[in-house]
Amino acid sequence: MVFIQVVLALVLGLGFPFGLPWRTSWPGGIFLGTGLMVLLPWCLGRVLVESYLREMRSGITDSKRIRTQKRMLSLYEWSPLIVYSGVVMGMGWTRWVDEDLGLSGSVLVGDLLRLLPFVLAQITTLVPIYRLGSHSGHSFSSLGSMLGFHFRMNWIPVVPVLMMSSLAEWAARLPSEWLDPIEVYPFLGWCLLLPVLGCLVVGFPPILILLLGTRTMPPGETRDRLDEILGKRGVKIRDFRVWTIPHPQMLNAAVVGLTKRWRYVIFTSALLDALSEEELVAVLAHENGHIEAGHQKIFMGMAILFYLTLYGPSRWLEPILGEVLFSALLLAAFGLFFGVFLFGWLSRRLEREADLIAAEIVGSPLRMSLCLTRVAFLAGHDPDQDGWRHGSVSGRVGFLASVSNDSRIGRQFRERLKRVIRRVKGSLLLFLIPTLVLAGQEWISPYMRIQELIEIRIESGEFKRARQLLDRYPEMRFLSTKEFRRQLDLRTEEEDR
């Protein structure tokens, strides 16, 4: 859940740079309003946690009231994103950072300041949750270790974004003759961004394991057995890594990396300590299922298609709807595609597909079910709680039980899943047609765009850059009179002085 919030906060904070018309221009008012909103999760969390603890002390652990409070605590975890939405759209925080602080030219520092209220809201939300965990006896050793874990675990998407911000800041200082073609042909900029993103995604895993503070898995019989499992399936990885977390119930594993050269399988130290060798084999078999089925490539392919699909609608709809309405619509589209579909509905079904492949490796769906149940029990998870990205353990176990009774269910499930993925990709390719049409029009006839850029530069006082653009594209001269060019020359000379 927190990971999805961080992704949506990045879209909201870095792609929604304005507030409502009535926002205050007084810096003290913005600071005061933002500070009060950031403190709201802490106040609300204290009330919810204290009320829940009072009910637990009464000895009644399965009442309707307890279940209601558990649901409220689950909703409470979304407080940082809700508060941040109010800060961005209500207080106009991002516009204040860009315009009043004058940081629109300093991309990296500006991005960090835009996200600051969300970071603070996360901290004020986690403080009451730490108290709840310490009372139940399943907590981190300290509040600092809990905050450090959450930020390292869930703020991973921020690192590539900050790297992109630094790159954008460097690119903005390039000579204008290098940047003009990208401004004249905006789709070219979108396409140039893809290889940069690709390099970041492919090369990010080594950075990730350093950020998480992992260490290589020590040699021994267990590691040899895990290597043997992957070898039999023809799957290659760079290394097994161990992530030491100061929490006894943080049992987890993950695979990161698109290429075998930079692909890692990560186990938490608590997982290695708690499970037997056979159970570790089942966990590795599940992660191998993600590799064999190409789940990371599916996510990446759909994200790239969605990104390219947005270009056409953005160029056509923004002038019609206006900046505010269009950005709200864009944010909703990102939330539905990434939050609801990609990291929600599809992710839960890919987990079941990985379970099916793992069941094939360990020998039977029953063995995989036992491993899932044991990990959930040791981690203190409610087996009936429906996780947004992984689904409920009881649902996954029930699915494996049905596959155990009839193997055709598993094959039919995987065939249906492949059809859904093909249809979604086909739909995205269909929606890509307006983007390609618009890109073709801009390439064949860029004159309207050039004229628009000249007008923008004149309005912003960049007369020299406007004159350079006019000189670089001589075919634009028929759109400008001699008097216009003479006035532009005079303004350029004044700017040089």
142/212 same-domain check = no
| Spatial CA neighbour of 242 closest among 252, 231, 233 | 252
Tokens found for residue 187: 């789709």
Note the pLDDT tens digit of each residue in 124-139: 998 888 887 766 655 6
CB 378 within 8 A of CB 273: no
Helix, strand, or coil here: 266? strand
- Structurally, the chain folds into a number of domains equal to 3
User: Is pLDDT at 348 greater than 90 in this prediction?
Assistant: yes
Using CA atoms, how far residue 146 sits from 42, 118, 133, 242, in Å, is 16, 17, 10, 18
Angle between helices 407-444 and 347-362 (to 10 degrees): 140
Range of the domain at 372: 174-443
User: Is pLDDT at 441 greater than 60 in this prediction?
Assistant: yes
CB 30 within 8 A of CB 116: no
Give residue 60's pLDDT. Answer: 62
Q: What amino acid is encoded at 181 in this protein? A: P
CA atoms within 13 A on the CB side of 374: 15
276/408 same-domain check = yes
Tokens found for residue 162: 């900050």
348/206 same-domain check = yes
Q: What amino acid is encoded at 233 in this protein? A: R
Give residue 21's pLDDT. Answer: 47
Separation of alpha carbons 264 and 282, rounded Å: 17
Separation of alpha carbons 382 and 390, rounded Å: 13
99/227 same-domain check = no
* pLDDT band for position 19 (cuts 50, 70, 90): very low
Out of 139, 168, 197, a domain closes at 168
Out of 103, 134, 168, a domain closes at 168
237/359 same-domain check = yes
Q: Which residue has the tokens 């901290």?
A: 123
437/482 same-domain check = no
Tokens found for residue 324: 């505010």
Strand pairing report for 264-268 and 253-256: antiparallel
Note the pLDDT tens digit of each residue in 86-110: 888 777 788 777 777 766 556 677 7
Whether the predicted model's global pTM rises above the 0.75 cut:
yes
Out of 168, 196, 222, a domain closes at 168
79/200 same-domain check = no
CB 374 within 8 A of CB 42: no
Name the range with the highest mean pLDDT among 199-203, 210-214, 486-490: 210-214
Note the pLDDT tens digit of each residue in 355-372: 999 999 998 899 999 999
